[in-house]
Structure 1
Amino acid sequence: MEITTLTRLEIITVLAILNMATFGQAKADEPTQPTEAAEDGSSEKSKKKTKAKDDEELATMVISATRSEMEAWMAPANVTVITEESIENRLTQRIGDALKDVPGIFLRGSAYGTNMPGSALSGSAFHGISGTNRSLFLIDGMPVNTATNGNVDWNILNMDDAQQVEYVPGPFSALYGSGAMGGVLNVISKVPTKREGRLSIGAGGAAVDQWGIKGRYRDRFENGLGISLTFNHMDSDNWAVSDQVAIAPNALNTNNVAGLPVVSGGQATTFNQGEPRYLIGDRGRRPWEQNNASLHLYYDLTPQTKIDGGMSWSRAETNDTGSFNSYLKQSNGNPLPINNVSRNVNINGQRYSIYDQRFLHSLPSIEDTRRYFIGLKHDFGNDVKLNANFQYMQHETYSTLTNSTSASYSGGVGQLTVTPSNRIDGDVNLRFPFLSRDRNFVTIGMGANANTLEGQTRTELSNWRDWDTETSLSYQGKGESSIFSAYIQDELWIRKDLIAHLGLRYDDWSTSGSVVQNTTPRFATNYEERSVGQFNPKFSLTWLPADGYKLFASTGWAFRPPTNFELYSTTLTQNNNNQITLTQANASLNPETMYSWEVGGEATPIEGTTIAASYFHHYISDLIYRKDFPAVNNFILQERQNAGEAEVEGVEVKLRQQLYWDWLHFTGTYTLNDSIITENSADSRIVGKQMTQLPETMFSGSLDVKYDKWKGGIIGRYVSQIFFTDRNLDQVTGVPGSYDPYFLVDTRIAYQATKNIDVSFAINNLLDRQYSQFYLQAGRSVYGEISYSF
């Protein structure tokens, strides 16, 4: 690793943590009044520990860090809690909008509300680990990563039903099992205690034409039944120019332009790897619509026994407008006619082929998710508590691809890909005092998961714009993966200010599947069941030298089994030059594994100031990569393999400062990820490169206001360039297909007009920055909303 990067890491971490320790020891030396929690060390009673009561963040209770309730500042990690008030203080259309200033979190694409929906159109990185399927996304403790590829349908993470969102960084396979490498994000539903409701209608414009309506209703009836109902509809024309078309000159006879018509109107540019390109137009708007709804019921069978259950549904559909935008003009100034017949033209002395297939979208696309769940909580008394949860989640996607040069913008041969999958999860755990009622608490549990790829199919279409024109089945992949788990965690209060957490989980993963391909080369293969066992321990030590001070150290292991998609599904993608990449499945893949350690802390040196910092180091093995093979005809061939090892070290810092007025708060964050590929048997040229889709640097600063009838905030955030290619060849920024660094400013202000009515106005990308995350992103957009509450 670079010495300069290490120096930055060491300086920032050492200064921050030593500062906490110094202040903490000074505070510890001051005389304090003993409290009940200090006497017995019980985490069950820790909420009574003397603290700064006016600090909302310190007083927040969380459950995700230890699977039991404790104050966030006492947890063995720097936990971030997004409260219901914080959610309502911003324009939160999807969960990503609420996570913009969380250190260590990088999101892109459909995680944000102004972007097109679709789990395939997003990416994420948690705590130095890139890949949505390498972190766990939970609703009330149950994972909602899809059974197909571990991605997330962001619409199912319903913010209208949330009490708070808890983010716990770092490996948590010891508690949550597979996939918990980068961290855990848990959306906690709000339990109704009284009748309340809210209806909001909003609309926006400028760069993004968008409107929406959403509502929620909560009630607790006299018979003890509680109900929470939500719905949300969003509709958008998307922004005008997002999917640019930049093409390369013909590979043959590039400079032979004799007799070709001269064309202008576009723009000379490059691709993200520096190859010459010419921008000839864009694919037009991609309007989309999304809907989601949820029903959550609660009932107390007795004061000690509580049950809840319900369902949630989400559906998103993205289309095209049936037209595209060409920038090309003939020598007489008229637009260049474009149809399905390839036409060679002279652009800047080079030969280009122009035809309407250049402007095709792989649209329409549909994503549909349905989730059913039930839970039970029972308090036996004497700090013995039982929790049981079960869920069934279905997920389907539909998309099209034109796979023939004979296809045109209006129709022709193509394929329909349908990917249905489901996951079943169950978890039962019991928490109880062991040996010492006040100092030692044990959680034991068992879990089960079954992920099923019901049959990803690719069906030939005689007309790719009409899904009813199916002709034959060309490909089908099926797969099943299951995990049976047992885990234990011991929470030991060694002293009144020193807590140890020791955890161990065993996961038995098994998988089987089949692949049938009816096109050349034809084959049908069944893969017999195989299994892998995985132990994942974790140990952490948390020191609480004084109220509001914490130092912690932790070490642990995590793993991620290959998804059904990686094992049993081939993919076809098409670039602007109509070259198709075929990525083969590999049913022999093994789980990725990670060992990690971390040190950090949190401090409140003076009233109104809280600073948290951590330093971590990850060692990752058996990374799943794609190995390239020689191209065949117009196909680029790849296969997934366990080929890589990597290391990541990083720093995360957060400062929360109450300013001169108690109604004004500042929050600042800084993240540094130094990643390196240390081994790759599939391609040695990758060694020494950065991990893909992981920004090296991120920082943010925000002001939050709550004054009289006004509330709102403004946030500025910077994200450095990410690489999408394993060899980090995509170095060029500011061109079509690039992943640019960016600094954005977003703001929202709300006014309580009456007791029941409030209005708000928001601006995203206030400075109207132009940047790309492969697709050109939206410029300045505005959104206004009026809400009625009771």
Structure 2
Amino acid sequence: MNFLPIRLTITRGRLAFIGLLPSLWVGAVLAEDVADMEAIVVSATRSAHAVGETPVAAFVVNRKQIDNTNAKNVDELVRGIPGAFAGRTKGPMDMTPAITLRGVPDPKRTLVLLDGLPMSDGWTGAQKPMGFTVDDIERAEVILGPASSLYGNNAMGGVVSFESRMPKGREFRYRLGFGDTDSGERGLANSKRTYLSYGDKFQNGLTLLASLGTTDTDGYVAEYVTRATNPPTGTTGSIPTFTTAGARTYIIGDRGRQGVKEQQLALRGELDLGGGNHLRLAFTQGESRTTISEPETYLRNAAGLPALTAGAPNTVAITTWAQGFSYTQRNLLSATYDTHIGRSALKIKLGKASTDYWYISSGTFNYWASSAANITFNPGETLTAEAQFTTPVGDDHLLVWGTDYRHDTGSASQFPLTDWKNLGGLGNRASYFAGRTQTLGFYGQDEWAITSATRATLGARLDFWLGDEGIAQQPANNVNKNYTSRSAKALSPRLGLVHTVSPALALRTSIGSAVRAPNIYDLYRPFISTSATGTYYANNPNLDPETMKSIDFGADAKPWQGAEVTASLYFNWFKNFMYYRSVSATERASICPGIGPLTTCVQKVNVGGARSAGLELKLNQKINDNLSAFVSATALRSKITDNPSNTATVGKRFTTTPHRLASLGVDASAGPWNATLSGRYVGRQFGSSDDTNSQQVWGVPLSFDAHTIYDLKLGYRFDKRMKVSLAIDNVSNHDGFNYYRIPGRSWFLDISGEF
């Protein structure tokens, strides 16, 4: 095991390869001819259009492409789309999937929908695509660029919309699989996956589907324990490496395997009432629990026995070894009703999402023994309601207009535990933070067919936002606050044009703006480091919404037989970005109560300005009925332009945002056989706390390395009732870090079918 920096030297030939293909994709069959419904996109304008006929870049992932992927989680389905980044840092154990679009940093600024309902929680704005598996998804639409004119909050980078499948007749589907690794501690070990569903479509117009999916893996070793100086003479086993800043450090052990156990339950029903009236009801429940194994020390004392603390100086305390764990349950209830009023089509959507989340954080964490720690309970609830009208006006205009309302509540209560391993000995509440946000929006859009070849789209949305009922209680620091309410409004317009030059070429452009309002966490929840020399991240109840303006230009072409090319060039300007500022000595007591003199005090404020620009390219090539290929590339430049609270960030690039993405895939079939070779290239990133881009060394723990990962999937279908598939992730066993260590090579064998 070598933890010296992994040198990522790129030769001219390798650079040419990366520039052409990096990141082979899970669904390299986008070049295939698909059914008309699969080539239609709705999310771009809230009305149906063929892909390539919208004023913004739009992509569709259909069910066949999904079946040919190695994707274990729904967020991974966007990996092959230019401008889209699925930023998992720990494989399936990552509890916060992070889809970002067009280089707009932080998943809070990308809207994710399931059947038209938002999947972001109201507490942090985190994406929570829980309660449905990859097997439950019929298709996905990805819309690039600001979409607040139709969707309001969070849709700065764009929209990812997942559509759940419904049966076309009586069906029973199953999937059973097992996987393991040949990469030792680096690979996903003992992985199991099941999926069962039953559905039927009755003659009375009723359609039902019930599904249950489970995932269970022991995971892999992703985190390591380090100390700044080499252990003293007599203690051996340390591994020399560097910090990301270039300082010498030593790895003395790991924090054990972290795995996950998940269960996804879905119940959906749809009733055709006749006359164009439809009612759909759905309930989904997702559960996820992380699992951990005993940490391992690499150190040995003079007697050859395991050593934990490495001795003085700079002793590593046993509190740094164990990792906490967490549990999440998310329930989603939804109802959708489609009808007509006169010439207008009306869609009414109601949703309720409730989240129960708790996690263990370090207290004393006595290595692997039962000891004291802290537990935080973090429940939340989101209520949504929307009415959308689609009204044709004459032969040349289509109006889409409506209103929606969102109500979010959330809280965080921390308690001491006497036994972190068995969740025993719950003490008195140490802190409590809570709040509420509400958003009411009105939107309207006119699609105007100026000529038979030119269509204009003009829309705008007005949002009213309110944050209130903020509470902060920390008895130990004599904190008992009730925050005053905070309100704001935002207008988000957009103008788009698409011109069909010929059946083989369409040109498009759009200009618009987007908004993201602060969430409950931003307003009312501080994050308090338990370290004496850590950082107190203070909340700010006076935050304003962030805004973005954008313009893009694009083309969709079919330059030769079987080829489809999409190209986009865009420019973004940001205002009121939320950044942390250093708090002065005179403000510390009021903003960061109870902290020690060595603890840093920072607070989130609206001080930032930034800009970015990007180029996106995609080529689909159908070679023949049995062979197709896909290639895409994304190039991005980003820059902080204004941050008075920390001028050192000015001129630096966005964090957690790779400036280079690329993908390539080949899909081949022969009779009952099918094979998909796919891969993805992700460029270097800077971590979320590295606004000054200070990282100097890559290939070490906590670095965000450039990496190319290749995946392979082989399948043999006996008949409709049984198909056997073998998926190999990270075929080349690439090693490196994406903050955590990148999972090594693993394989997964499954049997699936339908009756």
Q: Normalised by the size of structure 1, how large is the TM-score?
A: 0.86
Equivalence for 2:14: none
Taking a change above 3 Å as real, the CA distance of residues 759 and 414 of structure 1, as seen in their structure-2 partners, is same
Counterpart contact for 1:238–1:287, Cα < 8 Å = yes
From 581, 606, 616, the counterpart of 2:535: 581
Question: Does residue 182 of the first structure (1) align with residue 157 of the second (2)?
Answer: yes
Counterpart for residue 68 of structure 1? 47
Q: 1:357 aligns with which of 319, 335, 340?
A: 319
Report the equivalent of 1:82.
61
Matches within 5 A, 1:273-288: 273-288=245-260
Q: What secondary structure sits across from 1:85 in the alignment?
A: helix
Whole-angstrom CA distance in 2 between matches of 1:237 and 1:394: 28
Residue of structure 2 in register with 1:522 after alignment: 478
Q: Shift of the alpha carbon at 1:470?
A: 1.6
Separation (CA, whole Å) in 2 of partners of 1:538 and 1:593? 14
Q: Deviations over 1:277-300 (max 9, x none)?
A: 110010111122011110110001
The change in CA–CA distance for 1:270 and 1:154 in structure 2 (over 3 A counts) is farther
The 8 Å contact of residues 117 and 288 in structure 1, kept in 2 or not, is answered as no
| Residue identity matched to 2:330 | T
Amino acid aligned to 1:276: R
Shift of 1:519: 4.7
Do the aligned partners of 2:72 and 2:92 also contact (CA within 8 Å) in 1? no
CA distance in 1, matches of 2:291, 2:64: 35
SS at match of 1:473: coil
Q: Secondary structure at the match of 1:115?
A: helix
Name 1:671's counterpart in structure 2: 634
Native 8 Å contact 1:76 1:552 kept in 2: yes
SS of the counterpart of 1:360? coil
Superposed displacement of residue 357, structure 1:
1.7
From 609, 620, 625, give the equivalent of 1:656: 620
Quote how far apart the aligned CAs of 1:458 are.
Answer: 1.0
**8 Å CA contact retained: 2:119, 2:129:** no
**1:61 Cα deviation (Å)?**
1.0
1:441 aligns with 2:366: no
Matched residue of 2:374: which SS? strand
Q: Distance in 2 between matches of 1:517 and 1:698?
A: 44
Instruction: Deviation per CA, 1:192-229: give whole Å up to 9, x if none.
Output: 32112210100111121201111222210122210121
Work out which of the residue numbers 202, 213, 227 in structure 2 matches 1:247: 227
Per the alignment, residue 136 of structure 2 pairs with: 161
Alpha-carbon spacing, 1:245–1:662, altered in 2? closer, same or farther (3 Å): same
Counterpart of 1:396?
356
Quote how far apart the aligned CAs of 1:522 are. Answer: 2.0
Name the counterpart of 1:595.
Answer: 549
Residue of structure 1 in register with 2:123 after alignment: 148
Find 1:612's aligned residue among 554, 560, 566: 566
Map 1:358-377 → 2, pairs under 5 A: 358-361=320-323, 363-377=324-338
Aligned twin of 2:518? 562
Counterparts of 2:530 and 2:209, CA distance in 1 = 44
The residue that corresponds to 1:787 in the other structure is 752
For the Cα contact (< 8 Å) 1:477–1:513, is it kept in 2? no
Q: Which structure would you say has the larger RCO, counting Cα contacts within 8 Å and 6 or more residues apart?
A: 2
CA 1:57–1:667: 2 relative to 1, 3 Å: farther
Q: Which amino acid aligns with 1:388?
A: I
Paired with 1:409 and 1:508, the residues of 2 have a C-alpha distance of 50
Corresponding residue of 2:6: none
1:200-239 to 2 correspondence within 5 Å?
200-206=175-181, 207-209=187-189, 210-239=191-220
CA contact 2:235–2:310 (8 Å) conserved in 1: no
2:441 matches 1:469: no
- Mapping 1:94-105, distance limit 5 Å: 94-105=73-84
In 2: Cα distance, 1:561 partner to 1:476 partner: 23
Per the alignment, residue 45 of structure 1 pairs with none
Of the candidates 290, 293, 297, which is equivalent to residue 326 of structure 1?
A: 297
Note if contact 1:625-1:643 (Cα within 8 Å) is conserved in structure 2: yes
Q: Which moved more, 1:743-752 or 1:220-229?
A: 220-229
Deviations 1:528-555 (CA, angstroms, capped at 9, x unpaired): 2221011110000000112242110100
Q: Distance in 2 between matches of 1:705 and 1:237?
A: 33
Matched residue SS, 1:544: strand
Query: Quick one: which of 235, 253, 262 aligns to 2:234?
Result: 262
- 1:211-249 C-alpha deviation (Å, 9 max, x unpaired): 11112222101222101211110000001x211111223
Q: Secondary structure at the match of 1:495?
A: coil
CA distance in 1 between counterparts of 2:382 and 2:643 reads 32
The answer (yes or no) to whether the contact 1:198–1:788 under 8 Å persists in 2 is yes
CA contact (8 A) 1:58 1:548 kept: no
Of the candidates 721, 743, 747, which is equivalent to residue 778 of structure 1? 743
Letter in 1 for 2:219: N
Tell me if structure 2 keeps the 8 A contact 1:53–1:59: no
Aligned residues of 2:76 and 2:86 also touching (Cα < 8 A) = no
Instruction: Provide the rounded CA distance (Å) in 2 between the counterparts of 1:132 and 1:617.
Output: 19
Cα drift, residue 788 of structure 1: 2.5
> Hey, what does 2:657 align to over in structure 1?
694
Return the match for 2:95 from 103, 110, 118: 118
Of residues 682, 701, 708, the one that matches 1:719 is 682
Shift of 1:516: 2.9
Query: Helix, strand or coil for the counterpart of 1:642?
Result: strand
Partners of 2:171 and 2:669 lie apart in 1 by 22
Q: Which amino acid aligns with 1:744?
A: I
Q: Distance in 2 between matches of 1:606 and 1:171?
A: 31
What is the aligned partner in structure 2 of residue 28 from structure 1?
none
Alignment gaps of 5+ in structure 2: 1-30, 182-186, 586-594
TM-score normalised by the chain length of structure 2: 0.90
Residues 156 and 273 of structure 1: CA distance in aligned 2, closer, same or farther (over 3 Å): farther
Letter in 1 for 2:163: I
Q: Indicate whether 1:626 and 2:572 are aligned.
A: no
Instruction: Give the secondary structure class of the aligned counterpart of 1:133.
Output: helix
1:477 offset after TM fit, Å? 0.9
Unaligned runs of 5+ in 1: 1-51, 346-350
Shift of residue 459, structure 1, vs aligned partner: 1.2
Aligned position for 2:24? none
The amino acid of 1:500's aligned partner reads A
CA contact under 8 A between 2:207 and 2:271: conserved in structure 1? yes
C-alpha distance 408-327 of structure 1, shift in aligned 2 (>3 A):
closer
CA distance in 2 between counterparts of 1:169 and 1:189 reads: 21
Deviations 1:241-269 (A, max 9, x none): 211111223xxxx9xx9xx6532211111
- Equivalent AA in structure 1 for residue 337 of structure 2: L
Correspondent of 2:503 among 512, 524, 547: 547
| Alpha-carbon distance in structure 2 between the residues aligned to 1:527 and 1:768 | 52
- Contact persistence 1:55–1:608 (CA under 8 A): no
Query: CA–CA distance in 1 between the matches of 2:339 and 2:314?
Result: 70
Q: Give the equivalent residue in structure 1 for 2:459.
A: 503
Structure 1: how far apart are the matches of 2:679 and 2:36?
A: 21
The separation in 2 between residues aligned to 1:625 and 1:589, in whole angstroms, is 11
1:12 aligns with none
Identity %: 25
Q: Structure 2: how far apart are the matches of 1:190 and 1:199? A: 15
Cα shift at 1:380: 4.9
CA distance in 1, matches of 2:207, 2:36: 28
- C-alpha spacing 1:562/1:464, structure 2 compared with 1 (3 Å): same
Q: How far apart are residue 408 of structure 1 and its match?
A: 4.9
For 2:36 and 2:228, locate their aligned partners in 1 and report how far apart those are by CA, in whole Å: 53
**2:360–2:375 contact (8 Å) kept in structure 1:** yes
Give the Cα–Cα distance (whole angstroms) in 2 for the partners of residues 689 and 99 of structure 1.
27
Question: Which of 371, 374, 388 is 1:412 aligned to?
Answer: 371
* 1:568-601 alpha-carbon deviations (Å, 9 max, x no partner): 11123568xx854321111111110000000001
Whole-Å Cα distance in 1 between the matches of residues 175 and 201 of structure 2?
A: 22
The alpha-carbon deviation at position 73 of structure 1 amounts to 1.7
